[in-house]
Amino acid sequence: MTHAIRRLLAANLTTQILTALALGSALGLALNYWHIPFLQEHLVNGLFSMVGQMFLNALQMLVVPLVVFSLLCGVVGIGDLKVLGRVGGLTFVTYLATTALAVMTALVFANIFNPGMGFDSLHMASADVSVATQDTAWQILANIIPKNPVQALANGEMLQIIFYVIVVGIAVLMIGSRAKAFVEGCTFMNELAMKIVEIVMAFAPIGVFCLIAKTFALEGFGLFAPVIGYLATISLTLVFHLCVTLMVLLYVCTGLSPRAFLRKMRSAQVFAFSTSSSNATIPASMQCVTQRIGVDRSIASFGIPLGATINMDGTAIMHGVATVFLANAYGIDLGFGGYMTIISISVLASIGTAGVPGVGIVMLAMVLNQLGMPLDGIAIILAVDRIIDMMRTVVNITGDAVVTTIVAQRVGKLDRAVFNDPDAGILTPATLDIDHEAEAAFAELTHPKAEA
């Protein structure tokens, strides 16, 4: 037993995270089955909730500084404004195309399996779900420009942050050599942010264990039975889009091995599954895409944060399947116009939608409201949304990585030697070793020894 623990501690980070995922799931299901009030209160809602929230806070703490400095370095690194425009346009269009493809795939699968047909429990459902006023496409585009950049940074408004940082980067390029000191400072801050990412990720197994244990302890499998058809359909669609659609797109556009790509993205996918947040997974995605897959940081620093904001493949799939499920349950015929409405709203609503847990439900309420369908059925969706949210976030961040890799290949910023190296970028406990020579030098600098 002691030998096995030592081997686990010496294993790479991905192995540790996967082990924590399995152990947390098993413990959570056991706690849900026995349901001991003392453990539920003090362990599940106490310790697990506290540690899991601390881990999520630590991840979100990284997002804004990482995006700001990596994107600044990326814009300056690209250098040519024409290339920058090409990268931005290609990334944006590809993201919207994959989202549209995702929701169309969902509608096909939903019509094949017809989840919700004959469902007779919706009369018992009641949900207090309100539809937030949704901005028009014109308002969304106008709001990309921040009135107050400091406020945008403080609130984590990702589209506004990206826009402002790109403008700053372009201004730096226009200033030229006089901005050398500023660029060197941003480069150092970018390296510092990545080192902090490594520090936080070293504690990922503990955070993942607590998050998963809490989720399964609270949810269990009891709520899944009434909507097993919906769960099966959406799970199958998510797996198909991730393993078939995205991987075929990757292979056709880059020639890279889908199997190797998925293996290199595994740690980020586990992060996404445990946090249910595309934004919180940005640091892990950046590490995988740049150090494991070989995408140049100038491309990844633009594509990954943008994807966390506008690329919602998994959420679009949920919209398609959930809407057909509720339409079948209520006996509503959507028709061709209804399907086109689902596709268009899912694609447009993904622009500017926050990459945080649970946002898909709010977007689903907007889709149902547009179709004139009752919102009561969302109570059924809410019952299992936590597990589905975890799965669709994995699809979201994998789509971000695929599109970013394709763009990097198109502009010649993909290092195939890194991709072909199976050990490239693997994080191990040794990554966090402190440079003792530097530590001694800093100590001498801050506390010089008195001369004899």
Q: Would the pTM count as exceeding 0.85?
A: no
Residue 68's contacts (CB-CB under 8 Å, 6 or more residues apart) are 153, 161, 165
- Integer angstrom CA distances of residue 307 from 27, 194, 242, 277, 351: 34, 19, 15, 12, 10
| pLDDT tens digits for range 58-67 | 877 877 887 7
Find all residues with CB under 8 Å of 65, minimum gap 6, and list them.
189, 193
Give tens-digit pLDDT for 106-127: 999 999 988 877 665 444 444 4
**Which range has the worst mean pLDDT, 129-138, 327-336, 387-396, 441-450?**
129-138
Q: Which residue has the higher pLDDT, 376 or 192?
A: 192
pLDDT (tens digit per residue) in 326-369: 888 778 888 887 888 788 877 766 664 554 555 566 667 767 77
Contacts for 222 with CB less than 8 Å, ≥ 6 apart:
32
Please state the domain extents for the chain: 10-432
In this predicted model, what pLDDT tens digit does every residue of 234-283 receive, in sequence order?
A: 999 999 999 999 999 999 999 999 999 999 999 899 888 887 778 788 88
Q: What is 10-432's CATH topology?
A: Proton glutamate symport protein (1.10.3860)
